[in-house]
Structure 1
Amino acid sequence: MRTLNLPTVNRSREIERIVNGMPTSDGAGVKLTRVLTHDLQRRLDPFLMLDAFRSDNADDYIAGFPDHPHRGFETVTYMLAGRMRHRDNAGNEGLLQNGGVQWMTAGRGIVHSELPEQEDGLMEGFQLWVNLPGKTKMTAPGYRDIPAADIPEFALAGGGALKLIAGKLGSEEGAVTRPDTEPLYLDLTIPAGGVYAVAIPAGHNAFVYVYRGALTAGDLARPVRDKQMGVLNNEGDGVSLRAAEETRLILVAGKPLREPIAQWGPFVMNSREEIEQAVDDFHNGRF
Structure 2
Amino acid sequence: MRPKIPERPFNLRFPTTGGKYFWKDLYYCAGWRIQQQIWTGHCRLLDGRDARRAWGSYEHCLSQFRHFRKKYDLKFRSDHLVVLLHGLGRHKNTMKKPASFLTEKGFDCYQVNYPSTFQSVKDHADQLEETLNLLEDIITVSFVAHSLGGLVCRELLSRESEWRDRIKINKLVMIGTPNQGAKIARYLDPLWLFRTISGPSGQDVQPGNAARFALPTVPTLVIAGGRATKSGFNPFLQEDNDGIVTVEETKVEGMTRFIRIPAIHTIIMDHPDTLKAISEFLQPSDDATVK
Instruction: Specify if TM > 0.5.
Output: no
Higher strand fraction: Structure 1 or Structure 2? 1
TM-score by length of 2: 0.27
Higher RCO, 1 or 2 (CA under 8 Å, sep at least 6)?
1
Higher helix fraction: Structure 1 or Structure 2? 2
